[in-house]
Amino acid sequence: MQSSNQPRSSLRTKLFGDPLRAFAVVSAVLLVLLAIAPAKNHFSEWRHYQKGYLRMIRSRGEAVTLQRHFQPGIQQIWHPDIGVTDRCTSCHVGLKETSLTDVKFQPYRKHPVIPHTTEQYGCVMCHRGQGAATTVEEAHSSTLAWEQPILPALYIESGCGQCHRANLEGTPQLNQGRALLARYGCVQCHTIKLPDGGMMQATQDAPSLSHIADKTTREWIFAWLKDPQSYAASATMPNFKLKDDDIRDISAFLTANSTPVAGDTLPPINQKAADPTAGASLYGESFCASCHAVQNAAGNLVGGNVGPELTRIGNKAKPEWVRAWIRNPRTYDPGTQMPHYRFNDQQVATMEGFLLAKSDSDFLANVHLDPATPEQIAHGKSLVMEYGCSSCHEIAGIKKPENFAPELTRIGGKSISQLIFLPGMSHTLPDYIAGKIRQPRAFAPGLKMPQYSFTPTQIDALTTALLAQNDRAQSMPPTLTVPAPPRSHYRPAGKAGQIMSDLACFSCHAINGRGGDMAPDLTWEGSSVQRKWLEDFFRNPGTLRPALIRRMPKFNLTSEEISTLSDYIMTVYQTPEFDRDSMPESGYSATQIEEGKQLYYSKYACQSCHIVDVKSDKGYIGPTLTGVGSRLTASWIYHWLKNPQALRPGTVEPNRNMSDDEAKSLTAFLVAQKGPGTKEAKK
């Protein structure tokens, strides 16, 4: 004990024996301690980056300007109302310098051009990270445990989605992600509340299963549930990875639970398809491919995705059901997007034969089901409830479950400490979300979320859309958000309204904000077209755009129906912008027409996109104008020429800012184009 005390006491005497020496030692220690704070500041990372910046700009041509813009010290963007305290610009010094776009290394490169400035919203709003931090590690947090690391550039559009609730032109990935959430039924099980109090709604309703036995066989249900994508590669239905016995029981329950619908099956029609190619041409003429896809010999899907894929429809649909469906789909499903084509017997038989031939002989070859027992049916019902089938499908006797899956309203801001990651997975929120979408069942045994077959691009888009669902988005001041336009529930009234829903006009055309975008918006159709043309078009829809593969099908309407529809369109779908009689339909002078022709061919070179004379003109981006004088009203032509976007927002035809006189002359020329076979056309 004593021996060990000896050197210590000697050290103490050495240092503190003399009061003066003791004072000197203490002062020295104090000075060193005092120097730590300024030294820490002096050697701080941001200072290092600012010095580096000054070194870098010295060698550049515009050094003086850059030098003048440079402000030393910690920089901060502070917006308490939106929770932004960002010091990122302390190191990212050149964010606003237009000339620094060519800098290849960070943190000095100029920020890419975006619609906002960094001062407006700061940085973390879009990029995440720790805004208040002044070291790279803390701000970007490459350390795994940080709650808000920098968001990979891949998901940057999620930042836009926090304020912008509607589709934005510049954010295709976010738009796609939101569309997928709605289309693939994600929001049927997962609630996603929007900041305005509404909920994200599904855009497509899965078919009702209450009458499924009329439509298909138990064997097909079995094969479908086992692997929906083996039946149709483009199927939106996910794979629930069920055991064969469970699928057997579910198919037993769905078949037993199904009730027949009067008239949704028909006996064979005593007609023979005379020509084997008639089916294909009827399918083509009816433009079925605008909505339905079929896999071609090369394995590529050809056709639209509004309706289900028809590659193996013959394996699925019962002949008696197909017949009734082609005759009138609304008997089986009153809300279907499929139009009622009004086919005659011959056409129904032809189409039936053509569709049923689309089958794969070995698709159901290995499915053999014994008759179902009551136990199997009961077990099937419990499985249907367990897996929440009625979240998407209407099933008689089973209610749509509420809060079936976790709410995703704030998933994009979820704390990492609340997440369970897969081994080997990087511990970030985007990777977690993407991983959950990619392989939902891998995260824990007994999870019910099914396996989707999304492409990597689709998964990125979905992750982007979900990352936008965060706390910031929910608490953003309403003055800063851009809400989505309210969903239109427009329904045309009366008898015309009934015909329009029977023909499913809204599957392709939009009117007053509701409907598809495959065909032109008809909101102001009554101001636009002439009644006679409209009636002729209903009778025999020709094409206005030869380069388009999608066209209006022929619906075999009766004269009475045509007249009802035309009356309604001509009276109701009128623009308030102008009076449809504001321009004369005839009586233009020959000089005016000639002047219009000159303007058409030389000054405005309309022939680059439109055809007036089939012999000389070739352009076919815009509609053919050979008979435009018989199709459009003079006042529509005039106002369209003056400002196309005012009549149809987003239309491609550029606004030429032409004078009233020029527009009048061009109108005169176009009104004179009455179409082939008429007197005027020969002139």
Partner 1 sequence: MMTKQTPLAVNVLCLFVCGLMLAASGCARQSASAAGPTPSGFGSTIVESSGGKQIGAAGSILPQPLVVQVNDDQGNAVAGAAVTFSGPSGVTFDPPSGLTDSSGQLSTNVILGGMAGRYQLVASTMTKAQKKVEIKSEEIALDYQRRLGQLLDDKYCSRCHNPESTPERVSNFDNLEVKPHAFSEGDTLNKMSDADLLSIISHGGPALNKSPLMPPYGYTLSKTEMQALIAYIRMISDPPYQAPGMVYAQK
Residue 309 is a binding residue for partner 1 (CB under 8 A): no
Report yes or no: 312 and 359 within 8 Å, Cβ to Cβ: yes
Residue 262 found at the interface with partner 1 (CB under 8 A): no
End-to-end CA distance of the chain: 126
Q: Does 624 bind partner 1 (CB under 8 A)?
A: no
From the list 35-43, 348-356, 452-460, 562-570, the region that binds partner 1 by CB under 8 A is 452-460
Contact between 603 and partner 1 (CB under 8 A)? yes
Among 619, 646, 648, 675, binds partner 1 (CB under 8 A): 619
Among positions 52, 54, 62, 83, the unique one binding partner 1 when judged by CB under 8 A: 62
- Return the residue of 457, 475, 571, 589 that touches partner 1, per CB under 8 A: 457
Whichever of 571 and 645 has its CB closer to partner 1, that residue is 645
- CB contact burial 620-634 (16+ within 10 A = b; e otherwise): eebbbbbbbbbbbbb
Q: In the bound complex, what is the minimum distance in angstroms from residue 99's beta carbon to partner 1?
A: 7
Considering the rule CB under 8 A, would residue 120 count as an interface residue with partner 1?
Answer: no
Q: What is the rounded CA–CA span in Å between residue 317 and residue 314?
A: 6
Instruction: Give 77's DSSP letter.
Output: E
Stretch that binds partner 1, among 164-172, 383-391, 501-509, 587-595 (CB under 8 A): 164-172
659 in contact with partner 1 (CB under 8 A): no
Interaction between residue 458 and partner 1 (CB under 8 A): no
> Beta partners for 199?
193
The piece of 85-93, 374-382, 408-416, 652-660 that touches partner 1 (CB under 8 A) is 652-660
Residue 165's Cβ-count burial label (10 Å; 0-12, 13-18, 19+) is: buried
Closer CB to partner 1, residue 81 or residue 102?
Answer: 102
Site for partner 1 in 86-105 (CB under 8 A): 99, 102, 104
**Span from 491-499, 507-515, 651-659, 665-673 in contact with partner 1 (CB under 8 A):** 651-659
* 543, 556, 645, 659: which one binds partner 1 (CB under 8 A): 645
Which position among 166, 608, 613, 659 is part of the footprint of partner 1 (CB under 8 A)?
Answer: 608
- Closer CB to partner 1, 53 or 341, in the complex: 53
Angle at 162 between CA 408 and CA 142, to 5 degrees: 80
Asked whether position 142 contacts partner 1 by CB under 8 A, the answer is no
Joined tokens for residue 127: 């990029």
Nearer to partner 1, 169 or 362 (CB): 169
Q: Which of 73, 115, 446, 477 binds partner 1 (CB under 8 A)?
A: 115
Minimum distance from residue 656 beta carbon to partner 1 (Å): 7
Q: Do 549 and 525 form a contact (C-beta atoms < 8 A)?
A: no
Show the tokens assigned to 408: 């995703």
Size of the site for partner 1 (CB under 8 A): 43
For the range 549-553, what are the long-range contacts, defined as Cβ-Cβ under 8 Å and sequence gap of 24 or more? Answer: 549/289, 550/287, 550/290, 550/304, 550/518, 550/519, 551/287, 551/290, 552/287, 552/508, 552/519, 553/285, 553/286, 553/287, 553/290, 553/339, 553/341
Within 508-547, the residues that bind partner 1 by CB under 8 A are 547
How many helices (H) and strands (E) are present in the chain, helices listed first? Answer: 32, 6
Applying CB under 8 A, the span of 202-210, 454-462, 486-494, 674-682 interacting with partner 1 comes to 454-462
- Kindly state whether residue 210 participates in binding partner 1, applying the rule CB under 8 A: no
Stretch that binds partner 1, among 134-142, 200-208, 456-464, 524-532 (CB under 8 A): 456-464
In whole angstroms, what is the distance from residue 650 CA to residue 653 CA?
Answer: 9
What's the CA gap between 119 and 101, in Å, rounded? 19
* Distance, CA of 363 to CA of 311 (rounded, Å): 12
Q: Does 406 bind partner 1 (CB under 8 A)?
A: no
Residue 194 Rama label (left phi>0; alpha psi -120 to 50; beta): beta
Per CB under 8 A, the list member of 148, 337, 620, 648 interacting with partner 1 is 620
Cα diameter, the chain: 129
Is 33 a binding residue for partner 1 by CB under 8 A? The answer is no
Minimum CB separation of residue 102 from partner 1 in Å reads 6
CB of 456 to partner 1, least distance (A): 5
> Which residues does 72 contact at the CB level (< 8 Å), separation at least 6?
50
Q: Could you give the string, one character per residue 543-582, with x where binding to partner 1 holds by CB under 8 A and - elsewhere?
A: ----x-x---------------------------------
**Nearest to partner 1 of 497, 619 (CB atom):** 619
From the list 32-40, 508-516, 600-608, 661-669, the region that binds partner 1 by CB under 8 A is 600-608
Choose one: 34-42, 56-64, 331-339, 482-490; the region binding partner 1 (CB under 8 A).
56-64
Residue 249: its H or E element: helix 244-257
Of the candidates 72, 172, 263, 513, which one interacts with partner 1 according to CB under 8 A? 172
Taking CB under 8 A as the rule, does residue 297 contact partner 1?
no
Question: Which of 83, 152, 401, 483 touches partner 1 by CB under 8 A?
Answer: 152
What would the two tokens of residue 595 be? 């002047």
Tell me whether residue 495 is exposed, middle or buried, using C-beta atoms within 10 angstroms of its C-beta: 0 to 12, 13 to 18, 19 or more.
Answer: middle
Residue 302, strand partner residues: 294
What is the closest distance, in whole angstroms, from the C-beta atom of residue 68 to partner 1 in the complex?
17
* Residue 656 within binding range of partner 1, rule CB under 8 A: yes
CB nearer to partner 1: pick between 66 and 322? 66
CA-CA-CA-CA dihedral for 613, 615, 620, 623, to nearest 10: 30
If binding is defined by CB under 8 A, does position 114 make contact with partner 1? Answer: yes
31 touches partner 1 by CB under 8 A: no
Among 81, 169, 275, 370, binds partner 1 (CB under 8 A): 169
Write the CB contacts of 243 (distance below 8 Å, at least 6 apart in sequence): none
**Which residues 6+ apart lie within 8 Å of 197 measured at CB?**
none
Contacts of 360 (CB under 8 A, 6+ apart): 312, 315
Task: Give residue 655's identity as a one-letter amino acid code.
Answer: N
Q: Does residue 392 sit in helix, strand or coil? A: coil
Residue whose structure tokens are 């028909």: 266
- Comparing CB distances to partner 1, the nearer of 63 and 365 is 63
- Closest distance of CB 172 from partner 1, Å: 7
Question: Would you give the DSSP letter of residue 659?
Answer: -
By the 10 Å C-beta count (0-12 exposed, 13-18 middle, 19+ buried), 11 is classed as exposed
Provide the token pair at 412.
């994009």
618 is an interface residue for partner 1 by CB under 8 A: yes
Return the residue of 654, 659, 661, 676 that touches partner 1, per CB under 8 A: 654
Taking the least distance from each CB to partner 1, the nearer of 363 and 454 is 454
Distances, alpha carbon 64 to alpha carbons 47, 356, 515, in Å: 20, 77, 57
CA atoms within 13 Å, Cβ hemisphere of 531: 13
Q: How far is the CB of 146 from partner 1 (least distance, A)?
A: 18
Which of these ranges, 13-21, 168-176, 242-250, 417-425, lies near partner 1 under the rule CB under 8 A? 168-176
Residue ranges in contact with partner 1 by CB under 8 A: 59-62, 99, 102, 104, 106, 109, 112-115, 152-156, 169-170, 172-173, 456-457, 460, 547, 549, 602-605, 608-609, 618-621, 645, 652, 654-657
